[in-house]
Each structure stands twice: as C-alpha cells, then as structure tokens.
Amino acid sequence: MTIELVSSTRSFDGSQRQYKHDSDVLNCPMHFSIFLPQEAEIAPEYRYPVLYWLSGLTCTDTNFSQKAGAQRLAAELGIVLVIPDTSPRGKDVADDPSYDLGQGAGFYVNATQQPWKLHYRMYDYIVDELPALIEAHFPVSQRRAISGHSMGGHGALVIGLRNPERYTSISAFSPICNPIACPWGEKALGAYLGADTTSWEEYDASVLLGRATTHVPILVSQGDDDEFLEQQLRPEALQMAAGACNYPLRLEHHAGYDHSYYFIASFIEEHLRFHADYLLKRHKTAI
C-alpha cells in the first residue's frame, strides 16, 4: 500500500496534494487528492476527522479541489478532505464513448457484468481500500463523513446508508436520489449490474433509506433551476422515503441555483459546518 506524491500546493496554510497509487480493488493505478489543514501537518501525532467527497459525471479528483472553495472551511474546522477519482482509468480499462458510462462514470458500484467487472468496483474502493490507505498514510481518525455531487451525491448517500457505522454524517448536492427510476441510473446500473433490477436496489438511496435501521443524519441541497432535477435527480423519492420512516433528512431547495460548481461553492460552508457538528464531537484522538 504505497502512495506516490504527484503534487503539493499550499492552500489556506495547509496542503492541497495529489497522490497516485496502485489499486488492488480497481486493478489499475489511481489518483486521489487530499487537503491537509495546517494542524495535521504541524501536529501529526494527533488524528483528524476526514470528509470523503465523491464527484459527479466526467469529473476527476481536481474539479472539487479547484472549484468548491472547501479548503477555507476545512482549514478553519481542522478537517481533512479526501477527493477520489470517479472511476478506474487507463487504456486497459473498459470504456464507453458516452459521458455517462465507463471512465468518469463509475457510479460507485461493484460491477458484475462484462466488460466492466474487472475494474469497476468503485463501491469497494471508496468503502474499504481508499480509507485503509488514507488511514495508513495520513494522521486521520476514524471519524469519517461523506459527501458528493450528482453521481457523487448518489455515491455518498448509498455508501453512507449502507455503512452507517463508518460515517458520522452524510450530505449531497443535487444527488441522483432514485437511480433505479431515472435514465442515467437505468443505463449505468443496467450496464454494470445486468438486467435483474433487484440487484440495483442496493445502489438506490431512496430504497436504502427506507430500509435503514441506523439513522445517520443527512443533509441534501438541491437547486430549483437544476437542468437535471426532474428527469434524473428525483429528490422527492428520497423525501417520501424519509417521511415514511421518520428519517433525519434535511432536504433544502434553493431557488435559482443550477447543477454547477457555483451551486456547490455557494453552500459548501453549510455542508462542512453540518459535518463538523458530528465529526468534531471527538475529533482529536491521541494515537
């Protein structure tokens, strides 16, 4: 489990870095980005809470790093940010010419179908392999939160709901809330998981939320002028599931906002403070 430093840039008195490593789970080299607040560099004998951010279709680990403005808050709150890529990558990795399948569109699932199953195991990568790597190499605690945007919001909700013991809190911007019932989800889940739609339910936040026995707090932010809202995102399905089981879901609609990073940048402070409320209850643990 070695990692190789690709770049390191000072940001808000901490470090914004990119690393490369060989993923056993994904069977290819991967990049991830990480932000270390100043205190994690100065006092690595303590362990700091960490937020995993999952990005959306076509993104890599750099979009959120460059555009969201999250480092300012992470620096203030003393939170490490980990930003993985959105799929396995490389010329030996199966791909599709469309933007919503294949490289850049891993949908955070473990594929069971050819030609995808050799590499496309983003669920296991995010849940197990990457945190183990991060916890081996950086001074992070086991206080983890998870967030993401669009396809990555779907990933954050699904992964958080299926692993409530691993995350203090979950949030999402403009997530794909009900992928079994939208075109992006039907295409990706059909390709990665096959025609049997019962297997899809393990990757549908609205289904999973209705079945949850442990209730990790969730914040979802959604713009009302989002061009994908009606056909692809379906937050009403998540809200209905939450209402039926009294789940602590805070779903906020924001008038005039679209699906872009300008929306994320406008509300990232609210999301990081939401997570901090849970992460920081016991955020420093001596080794």
Token pair listed for 283: 């955020």
Per CB under 8 A, which of residues 228..257 are in contact with a copy of itself? Answer: 254, 256-257
**Cβ-count burial of 178 within 10 angstroms (0-12 exposed, 13-18 middle, 19+ buried)?**
buried
Answer for which of 9, 98, 113, 285 binds a copy of itself (CB under 8 A) is: 9
**123 vs 261 by CB, closer to a copy of itself:** 261
x/- site string to a copy of itself, residues 42 to 71, per CB under 8 A? ------------------------xx-x-x
Token pair listed for 93: 């990795």
The residues pairing with 148 across neighbouring beta strands, listed in sequence order, are: 54
Per CB under 8 A, which of residues 68..97 are in contact with a copy of itself? Answer: 69, 71-72
CB under 8 Å to 57, separation ≥6 — which residues? 86, 99, 100, 104, 105, 150, 151, 184
Residue with tokens 């399948």: 101
**64 vs 138 by CB, closer to a copy of itself:** 64
- The least CB distance from residue 134 to a copy of itself, in Å, is 21
- The least CB distance from residue 33 to a copy of itself, in Å, is 11
The Cα–Cα gap between 107 and 176 comes to 10
Do the beta carbons of residue 81 and residue 70 sit within 8 Å?
A: yes
Helices 261-279, 70-77: axis angle to 10 degrees equals 10
- The least CB distance from residue 197 to a copy of itself, in Å, is 36
3-class DSSP assignment, residue 46 = coil
Answer for which of 92, 265, 277, 281 binds a copy of itself (CB under 8 A) is: 265
- The least CB distance from residue 35 to a copy of itself, in Å, is 10
Answer for which of 29, 99, 132, 262 binds a copy of itself (CB under 8 A) is: 262
Answer left, alpha or beta for residue 140, where phi above 0 means left and psi between -120 and 50 means alpha.
beta
**69 vs 194 by CB, closer to a copy of itself:** 69
> What are the CA-CA distances from residue 266 to residues 11, 111, 209 (Å)?
19, 34, 27
x/- site string to a copy of itself, residues 189 to 228, per CB under 8 A? ----------------------------------x-x---
3-class DSSP assignment, residue 66 = helix
Q: Is 258 in the site for a copy of itself (CB under 8 A)?
A: yes
Token pair listed for 204: 């549908």
Residue type, 151: M
Q: How are beta strands 218-223 and 169-173 bridged, if at all?
A: parallel
Do the beta carbons of residue 245 and residue 209 sit within 8 Å?
A: yes
x/- site string to a copy of itself, residues 10 to 49, per CB under 8 A? xxxx--x---------------------------------
- The least CB distance from residue 52 to a copy of itself, in Å, is 20
Per CB under 8 A, which of residues 129..168 are in contact with a copy of itself? Answer: none
Active site residues: 150, 226, 259
Where along the sequence are the contacts to a copy of itself (CB under 8 A)?
Answer: 9-13, 16, 66-67, 69, 71-72, 223, 225, 254, 256-258, 260-263, 265-266
